Structure 1
Amino acid sequence: MTFAWLKGHGTENDFVLLPDHDGSVHGDLDGGFVAALCDRRRGIGADGVLRVIRTSALSGIEPGIASAGEWFMDYRNADGSISEMCGNGTRVFALHLVQEGLADPSAPFVIGTRDGDKTMSFDGDQISVDMGVPQVRDVSKVSAAGNTWEAQDVRTGNPHAVAFVDRLDDVGPLLIEPGFDQVVYPDGVNIEFVVREGERHVAMRVHERGAGETRSCGTGACAVAVATAVADRADRPVTYRVDVPGGTLHVTWDADDHITLTGPAEIVARGTMDWTA
């Protein structure tokens, strides 16, 4: 098959974008194809795939899909599995729409995701997304490198377990998935390890379900900010700086309980591929 592709990233959380406006190029977007495309040795290489498709077209392929937005971010993890949401991905997706003249950055606009509609706004090179209302649940346990920590369960479109550690190196290389409570997270979980760097300032590493350790995770940064605010008993609105290996994000938890994720995005390459695998 021959298809167009682009490569982009948000704080080095990288994605292959597949323009497929009417759904005629990739159909139901086979998971094996997605996994091969994301493979860093056999494919283009990425943490996930963002299919750029009209909501009306995807609803004909996947019944139940709906959005007030014209465009839907059909997001897949690097292993080919479907994910509900990707905060960094929304910014890359929105930037692509703007660069292609498919959306106007002068006013907020909506894109559809499996976690509901997300409102995007632009301020120079910073792109913000209203991530909705987080869910703060109970505490469980996570383990890595022979250590075990308590972890706050926070849902920000994806499930997250947020653990505060003394040093980020204490969790080891994260080459394998950390241990977690599979009763609490039967569908897997993104696990964030966090250290405090100062007032309203933290740093994190993340192991994402279906992708492994990544350079950044937008929904994870939101979960970390929420967990830190809960631990701090912080009044809202409150904004946290969240350093990730790939850069810096800012997360605001507003008085109306919504969280807003802000950070950069970049499209770095594009081309047409003849896929023979």
Structure 2
Amino acid sequence: MSYPFLKGHGTENDFVLLPDHDGLIHGDLAPSRVAALCDRRAGIGGDGVVRVVRATAVGEGPGAEWFMDYRNADGSLAEMCGNGIRVLARHLLDEGLVTGPTFQVATRAGLRSVTVDGPAVTVDMGTPAVLGETTVSVAGRTWPARHVSMGNPHAVAFVEDLRDAGALLDPPGFDPTVYPRGVNVEFVARRGVRHVAMRVHERGSGETRSCGTGACAVMVASALADGAGPGETYRVDVPGGELSVTWTAEDRVLLTGPAVIVARGTTDL
């Protein structure tokens, strides 16, 4: 079966987009097929696959016409992807599939409001859940970490130097009783006032150039560590660029960054 694809990225967190508007290829998206699409040598290459499908085609409720069916690079399902939803939004607006510039997208973590303003896309990522303290480890070193949920789980650890986290070729160690389905782990270093830099190991994908939900979790953890809270905006540097994250007075987290479509074609992977 051949079907169209697009390739896009948000701060170099890249995705294979499958425009499956009527929900025809779901049965073909076995984990092995997703992994083949994401393979950087034998496939198209990406940190994950975003299937773009009408909400009614997958039984989603009212509130949004489109659903983001996101899969990690290993084929596992994920609740949310902050960079992926921005790339999906760019595709929907570019193709005239939404009237824009503000619209709703359904995800496994619930509805998300998206606003496209020129090259920047802002997503209301919802209300963060700060769930306590835990630990993470890499290469025999252990750090305290804050457990933050942005619809998917994150463990945020502060380090003096981002190189302390090593190569992140293997998943960092974590407490499986806290994260029975795995966790995204962020390592954070301070760069200035309301300015931090991060590296991330995403469950199911490995170290990536950026993580949108991770940047949101990092901002929340950083604000709390700074004795602040809602009502602040932080710059979050990632290896692939720069993101802006605002924690509003209404306890919503807004993620702003670029989203670019770079290629399109047809595949039978």
2:96 aligned with 1:101: yes
Decide which moves more: 76-85 or 116-125.
116-125
Match of 2:179 in 1: 185
Q: How many Å separate the matches in 1 of 2:61 and 2:50?
A: 17
Q: How many Å separate the matches in 2 of 1:148 and 1:201?
A: 24
Q: How many Å separate the matches in 2 of 1:204 and 1:220?
A: 9
Paired residues of 2:31 and 2:76 also in contact (CA < 8 A): yes
1:103-252 counterparts in 2 under 5 A?
103-106=98-101, 108-252=102-246
Match of 1:50 in 2: 50
The sequence identity of aligned pairs, in percent, is 64
Q: How many Å separate the matches in 2 of 1:130 and 1:123?
A: 14
How well do the aligned residues superpose, as a CA RMSD in angstroms? 1.0
Match of 1:62 in 2: none
Q: How many Å separate the matches in 1 of 2:166 and 2:62?
A: 41
1:37-76 counterparts in 2 under 5 A?
37-59=37-59, 65-76=60-71
Letter of the aligned partner of 2:66 in structure 1? W
Q: How many Å separate the matches in 2 of 1:72 and 1:80?
A: 18
- Normalised to the residue count of structure 1, the TM-score between the two structures is 0.95
User: CA deviation digits over 1:155-188, x for unaligned, max 9?
Assistant: 0011000000010001111111111111100100
Q: Structure 1 residues 235 and 141 mapped into 2: Cα distance closer, same or farther (>3 Å)?
A: closer
Q: How many Å separate the matches in 1 of 2:19 and 2:83?
A: 18
Q: Structure 1 residues 170 and 235 mapped into 2: Cα distance closer, same or farther (>3 Å)?
A: closer
What's the secondary structure of 2:168's corresponding residue? coil
User: CA deviation digits over 1:132-157, x for unaligned, max 9?
Assistant: 00000111110113211000000001
Shift of 1:27: 3.3
Runs of 5+ consecutive residues of structure 1 not aligned to the other structure: 60-64
Match of 2:75 in 1: 80
- Normalised to the residue count of structure 2, the TM-score between the two structures is 0.98
Paired residues of 2:229 and 2:247 also in contact (CA < 8 A): no
**Number of residue equivalences:** 269
Q: How many Å separate the matches in 2 of 1:224 and 1:252?
A: 11
Q: How many Å separate the matches in 2 of 1:42 and 1:210?
A: 18
After TM superposition, what 4+ stretches of structure 1 lie above 6 angstroms from structure 2? Answer: none
Q: How many Å separate the matches in 2 of 1:21 and 1:124?
A: 25
Shift of 1:105: 2.9
Decide which moves more: 187-196 or 118-127.
118-127
Shift of 1:28: 6.0
Match of 1:274 in 2: 268
